[in-house]
Structure 1
Amino acid sequence: MSEHAADNEPGPAPHDQAPELTAPKPPPPLERSRFGGTGRRHETHIDDDAPVSRSDLSKGPAELVEDRQAHVNWGVVAISSVVILVFSIWTIVMPDSARLTMKTVVDWIATNLGWYYVLTVTIVIGFVLWVALSKEGSVRLGPDHSRPQYKLVTWVAMLFAAGVGIDMLFYSVTGPVVQYLNPPSGEGGTAFARQDAVIWTMFHYGVAGWSMYALLGMAMGYFAYRWGMPLSIRAALYPLFGKRVRGALGDGVSIIALVGTVFGVATSMGIGVVLLSVGFSLIFGLQHGLALQIALVAVAVALTIAATTSGVDRGIRWISELNLWSAAAMMLYILFTGQTAFLLNALVENIGRFFFTLPERTLQTFAYEPGGAEWMGGWTLFFWAFWMAWGPFVGVFLARISRGRTLREFVIAAITAPVLCDFFIVSLFGNSALYEVLQGNVAFARLAAESPEEGWYALLAMFPWPMVLIGLATLSGLLFYLTSANSGAMVTSNFSASIPDPSHDGPKWLRIFWALLTALLAVAMLLAGGVRTMEYATLIFALPVTIIAYLVMASFYKVLRMERADREGQVLRRRTIAPSGGHLPERSWKQRLERLRAFPSLRQVGQFLDRTVRPALDDVAAEFRDQGYDVELTAVPGPSGIDEPLLRVSLDRFRAFHYQVAVVEAPVPMFSGRMTRETDVYYRLEVFTQTGSGGYDLMGLTKQQVIDDVLERYEAHLAFLTLSAETDTASVLTPPMPPAG
């Protein structure tokens, strides 16, 4: 017996006076305005221009996917490819013109739209925190009965691996040094600048980016795993636009997300090869420069193609795990062979100051500082754009590994555990660099500010056994680099295809195509000016992604209001139908005692279905039809091999009533009313609605008790619709009330 079922067990009450089957009329105000007085279908006109779908969420999978076979979305592929190719060719053929043009656009954005980026990130942070702390935070990424696939420690480690890239290593040294020498406000080289130098880099790699990941990840995961829709951005917008997201509107959203993701991944690849080329030149004596950087891009593409064509998913997972271990080894080496006491003291102070000043920094635009817009464009706005570009990419991965988690678990873990890991890396590298600068190492300070990649390796060379650390750091950076390249190819292929099953990925050839195109873009930006050009392009192409963020928040807010109405509607029961107010069918005391010692086999469950449950549902369906309801009673193939009955009552344009009796395997408890047990599992007949299992078992009930349970569930569904109307909860399930007359 599940814990949920035990908590809702009613007291013993004889069931001899069970009411006869009657189809309850919908409660007011729905009775007259929506369904009519006899329960017969009553057509109501609703404005076709309203921005709410006419279908309920249960129809989403059918309306979003033309067929159940995965296929390539050629329109999205073609338009996205043209945009990326044209940009790449432009930057390769006219690199100087491309760089100057992008700088002009970035300067304009920083001056005129800096406030917009800052406000958008602030709203995203507030929204995900509201989701986590609200009552709807208990909603799961999946049916109500689903549970997480991974243990907490494994899941948190995978969260960290998802959002940490080689760019963090690149900026972990140059960021603090630059902010100390040239802070956004005040004089450089002062005590105040020293206190804030590392904090700014921690801020740029802190809560903001992970909030964007959490927003898109929980939205895509919710619709994919709770409602069976594709794992895509367009599915997350279904409550706002309905089936229109399957057409040109959805294609436009996919193109924006896809182009933004490609630019984000290409930027990360470009920064990675700039950094790694220095390491390879030190270790193998190769000439550091553009040729080596392009060669490293080619290596990443070759390994991505090899992994894709050979299907070595275990190998990719092994690389990710090795990545974590190598990064941990590198950080411990720096901590214990460097200035240990100083680094630990600084780490604690950095974290405290970060949280103390976070609200002020989040809304900081430096409107009163000379050159404030230029600094914002080169630092904060670039990072906010970078996280927005990476948002769909990381969001898909987070959703894939988080099925069964509650929204509260998902958000809190995403904005805490990986962020603390980021802080550890940034603080150790940044404070190690600052220590050298504070000791008067002017040459190192200038190198770190003007050539970040060389400054990073120059810092590593100052530790004992420098070549050991340089080799370990290069290996760690290479693994970060390869993981991002391979994952980027997988996610972009998913965005450019229609994949009904969230557990499947796009075709292999499409991954190869996007890997090649992303590599071409990275090379083009390297030719046009390197890292600075990549920052410009990211800031420009991430701007449309902010619109997607607002649309996703509006869509998800609407659905969470529906979830609230659904939850609160469960407690609204008509007293004449459900005097106990509980979820479970009432049983006699003998039935309850018998259930404590009964652990049915699959054969026994099948017999009970045929002898009791199916006849009960047949009678209910017949009576509903006699009273004018649109009823469908079907058999759904179940995983146990037994067809499971599904009763569906359509209610015009509103959410249909869904009552499915499913065969569920469960472990036999170690302590039970029976002293011995012959098997390790038994089978239950659980009632499923559209949002998951009700948590109770129908085995052992009489035919009349099953009928009573159907009617009580139907009453609960009508109560949900009533509450939705009374609280003005407009959603895809419960559109606004039409005007009288």
Structure 2
Amino acid sequence: MNKSKPSWVFYTSVTAILSLMAFSLFFQEFSTSFFKTGQSIITNNFGWFYVLSVTIIVISVIYLGFSRLGEIKLGLDHSQPEYKNFSWFAMLFSAGMGIGLMFFGVAEPLMHYLNPPTGDAKTIQAAKQAMNITFFHWGLSAWAIYAIIAIILAFFSFRHNLPLTLRSAFYPLIGDRIYGKFGDMIDVFAVVATLFGVATSLGYGVIQANAGFNYIFGVSISTTTQMILIAIFTLLATASAVSGIGRGIKILSNINMIMAVALLIFILLTGNTIYLVQSLVQNTGNYISTFITNTFNLYAYDKQNEVWLGGWTLFYWAWWLAWSPFVGLFIAKISKGRTIREFIIGVLLVPTGFTFMWMTFFGNSAIKIVQTYPKLAQMVNSDVSLSLYMFLEKFPASGIISVLATVMIIIFFVTSADSASTVLNMLCSNGNDKTALWQKIFWGLSIGVVAMVLMLNDGLAGLQAMTIIFAFPFTIALMVAIYGLFKALKIDFAKKNTQIFNPAPISQNSKSWQERLRDIIYLPEQTTAQSFVKTVVAPVFFEIKTEFKKNGLNSKIITDKANHKIHIVVALKDESDFLYGIKLVEREKPSYASKDDSYYRAEVFLKEGGQNYDVFGWAKQTLINDIVEQYRKHMQFLHIVR
């Protein structure tokens, strides 16, 4: 396969990144003030828009999951998932929130418990409210944002052959202009937002890793140590990215998922088990019962809490939206072949359920501990990065568990940087991940270099604010893209309904039932199947082509000998063309068959992909009837959507 060369998107993105870094570093005080002012303006004046947008996203995702549209595949009809469920869950979780849960699993519930938005601190009500807020910030809303972007990208890329980059999300909005400079600028925006967003988050991950090494080995907490750690972790991430998703990210994600589950079970069993299980059930119930109220709560009648809202909920919504191009594209990349319903159950419910367990077991345990161990509360207020390790002191074998936690943080760093460099590489190569080796290495190292420079010059705060600002125009465009997605899905579903398989239409000139049964039982070798295509299928296609020509329709027959395919395409001008083809597909023989390991099926495929039925042995007239019937269904589809 030809390697994709650096594009205009690549060079423009690099220029934009260098310019923003120069602006943030050489005009540090001014740039930080500038970006934070912009963030404040957006959160103060357009907080309602973020709240409304996230609500629309959540409703859209839930509707897609439970409506008939959920039956549509993110790919052609015959496509199958590339990764098994466990690896899939592990990869999307590692890319989406791994570092965040390690950093905030103890800290955020305690922050809300010690400083609640309403009511008194350190009370039972404050504890309930703290867990409810934490669930709300890390629950369905966050994963729904990731899911809707991934669905849009996967649907248009894998089912309609558009590039697997952010530009394809806007195909319903701008059509073929996604292939021009407008589409290029969308991908440049995604590259810049992804690089700075990931670099900022990984900066916080390194701070916590440094805290872990300090706690376990006495390594000093310093900028020099953090620079060394970033360099080491970045090299590991780059090596993983070069090895490919199927090896690096997959293997590391599986390892980290196993360790995360083990740590979760350890906290549950060595802590107050009954209390934690009860808390999980009650926290989940409170989350469900207050979800609508929390979703629309802008503290319009309580202006004193507007600052809290902007610093927490609106910040989270903007941050998830800013991260969604990166995480959404990566999730789309690993989700080809799944139905929308299967995808939403996997992306929305499984990670949310795991997150709820994590936040409950760590958060509720921390709240219990802080009631008799105030030093933990002091640490949360002074150094969040050390709060996890101080929390683990209260559990058996805390030294070993602290080492495990640090290893998890490192792997989460590596998998996040790895998946980010993969996404950046694809964005700059029109969705192609088969690029030159140096290009993969470039993006892997760039993430680490940017994180180092920003931390060295205390540029994290300003760039974090810049990332939030980027989320605002993106959210506006995303609302339009969601409308376009629903429109395209309904058209696809209408076509799917007109193609319900009616096996082997019978005609007067068909074979006897004994002959038909013999053809079904017989499992042909490749040469026999090829002979059927040559002596039956090809003549039928030429006869059909001649008949279309008599009726004023142009058609052509395309033969792909390398892939054992032949198909006929009928051009319908501005309407969707009709395609009917036969492909020889090698299949494993059942155990009752003869000594050969495989046989061949002559499977039908349409424009939407393989239809999973075999026409080998069909009589000429029967095959003609099937083509005519599929054409009739295609006409019915055009009538419905016209």
For 1:269, the aligned partner's letter is L
Q: For the residues of structure 2 that align with 1:658 and 1:312, how far apart are their CA atoms?
A: 34
**1:551-570 CA distances to partner (integer Å, 9 max, x unpaired)?**
43122112112112213434
- 8 A Cα contact 2:379 2:387, kept in partner: yes
The Cα of 1:370 is off from its aligned counterpart by 3.0
Bigger shift: 164-173 or 367-376?
367-376
Distance 1:505 1:167, change over 3 A: farther
In the other structure, the counterpart of 2:539 is 615
Alpha-carbon deviations, 1:684-725, whole Å to 9, x = none?
212211112233322222222222222222121111111112
The reply on whether 1:632 has 2:565 as its aligned counterpart is no
- Opposite residue 621 of structure 1, the aligned amino acid is K
1:513 to 2:452 alignment: no
Tell me if structure 2 keeps the 8 A contact 1:91–1:527. Answer: no
1:100-138: per-residue Cα shift (whole Å, max 9, x none)?
Answer: 333222221221011111111111111111111221211
Change over 3 Å in CA distance of 1:197–1:302 after alignment to 2: same
| CA positional deviation for 1:650 | 0.5
Normalising by structure 1, we get a TM-score of: 0.81
**2:486 maps to 1:566:** no
1:451 to 368, 383, 396: 383
Residue 523 of structure 1: aligned partner? 452
Q: Classify 1:704/1:328 alpha carbon distance in 2 versus 1 (closer, same or farther; 3 Å).
A: closer
Q: 1:509 to 1:374 in 2, by over 3 A?
A: farther
Match status 1:482 vs 2:414: yes
> Distance in 2 between the 1:311 and 1:567 partners?
34
Q: Which amino acid aligns with 1:553?
A: I
Structure 1 residue 524: Cα displacement: 4.3
Cα distance change on mapping 1:638 and 1:373 into 2, 3 Å: farther
Q: 1:204 aligns with which of 113, 123, 137?
A: 137
Partner of 1:556: 485
Paired residue for 1:603, among 527, 547, 554? 527
Which runs of structure 2 are paired with 1:259-658 in the superposition (5 Å)? 259-308=192-241, 314-439=247-372, 441-499=373-431, 504-527=433-456, 529=458, 532-533=461-462, 535-570=464-499, 582=502, 584-586=504-506, 587=510, 588-639=512-563, 642=564, 644-658=565-579
Offset of residue 614 of structure 1: 0.7
Q: Which amino acid is 1:513 matched to? A: F
Match of 2:598 in 1: 681
- Tell whether 2:584 aligns with 1:663: yes
Q: Does 1:248 pair with 2:172? A: no
- Aligned to 2:571, the other structure's residue is in SS state strand
The residue type paired with residue 463 of structure 1 is F
Alpha-carbon distance in structure 1 between the residues aligned to 2:429 and 2:324: 18
Q: One-letter code of the match for 1:344?
A: V
1:5 corresponds to which residue? Answer: none
Residue in structure 1 matched with residue 640 of structure 2 by the alignment: 723
Distance 1:170 1:371 in 2: 28
Find 1:704's aligned residue among 621, 629, 632: 621
Q: How far has the Cα of 1:309 moved from its partner?
A: 5.4
Q: How big is the shift at 1:264?
A: 2.2
Q: Using the alignment, how far apart are the partners of 2:315 and 2:438 within structure 1? A: 32
Superposed, 1:128-147 pairs within 5 Å as 128-147=61-80
Over the matched positions of the two proteins, sequence identity in percent amounts to 35
SS at match of 2:353: helix
Structure 1 residue 583, shift from structure 2 partner:
5.2
Residue 91 to residue 548, structure 1, CA distance change in 2 (3 Å)? same
Deviates more, 1:610-619 or 1:285-294: 285-294
* Corresponding residue SS for 1:693: strand
Q: Are 1:185 and 1:369, in contact at CA under 8 Å, matched by a contact in 2?
A: no
- Which position in structure 1 is the counterpart of 2:610? 693
Larger proportion of helix: 2
CA distance in 1, matches of 2:117, 2:241: 45
- Partners of 1:208 and 1:167 in 2: CA distance: 16
CA contact (8 A) 1:270 1:530 kept: no
- In the other structure, the counterpart of 1:732 is none
Q: Secondary structure at 2:303's aligned position in 1?
A: coil
TM-align CA RMSD? 2.4
Report the Cα distance in structure 1 between the residues aligned to 2:60 and 2:505, rounded to whole angstroms: 39
TM-score, reference length from structure 2:
0.93
Contact 2:90–2:253 under 8 Å retained in 1: no
- Partner Cα distance (2:5, 2:21) in 1: 23
Is the aligned partner of 1:225 residue 2:158?
yes
> Residues 180-208 of structure 1, C-alpha deviation per residue, up to 9 Å, x if partnerless?
12222333333322111122122211111
Structure 2 gaps of 5+ residues are none
Residues 95 and 419 in structure 2, CA contact (< 8 A), matched pair in contact too: no
1:160–1:417 CA contact under 8 A, matched in 2: no
Cα 1:461/1:538, change in 2 over 3 Å:
farther
617-626 or 370-379: which moved more?
Answer: 370-379
Say which one has the larger Rg: 1
Matched residue type, 1:648? V
In the alignment, residue 345 of structure 1 is paired with which amino acid?
Q
Of 511-520 and 285-294, deviating more is 511-520
SS of 2:247's equivalent in the other structure is: helix
Is the 2:164–2:430 Cα contact (8 Å) retained in structure 1? no
1:621 and 1:632 in contact (8 A); partners too: yes
The verdict on how the C-alpha distance between 1:72 and 1:547 changes in structure 2, with shifts beyond 3 A counting, is farther
CA contact (8 A) 1:662 1:685 kept: yes
SS in 2 for 1:497: coil
Give the match's secondary structure for 1:416: helix
CA distance in 2, matches of 1:520, 1:369: 43
Counterpart secondary structure, 1:71:
coil
Aligned residues: 638
Q: CA deviation at 1:73?
A: 5.1
1:101/1:461 CA distance change after superposition, 3 Å = farther
Greater mean deviation of Cα atoms: 350-359 or 156-165 = 156-165
Give the distance between the partners of 1:159 and 1:301, measured in 2 at CA: 20
Whichever residue aligns with residue 588 of structure 2, its letter is P
SS of 2:569 mapped into structure 1: strand
Consecutive unaligned residues of structure 1, counting only runs of 5 or more, are: 1-67, 572-580, 726-741
Q: Could you tell me which amino acid in structure 2 is paired with residue 111 of structure 1?
A: N
Instruction: Say if 1:204 and 1:380, in contact at 8 Å, map to a contact too.
Output: yes
Question: In the alignment, residue 623 of structure 1 is paired with which amino acid?
Answer: E
> SS of 2:594's equivalent?
coil
The amino acid that maps onto 2:639 is T
Whole-angstrom CA distance in 1 between matches of 2:245 and 2:624: 52
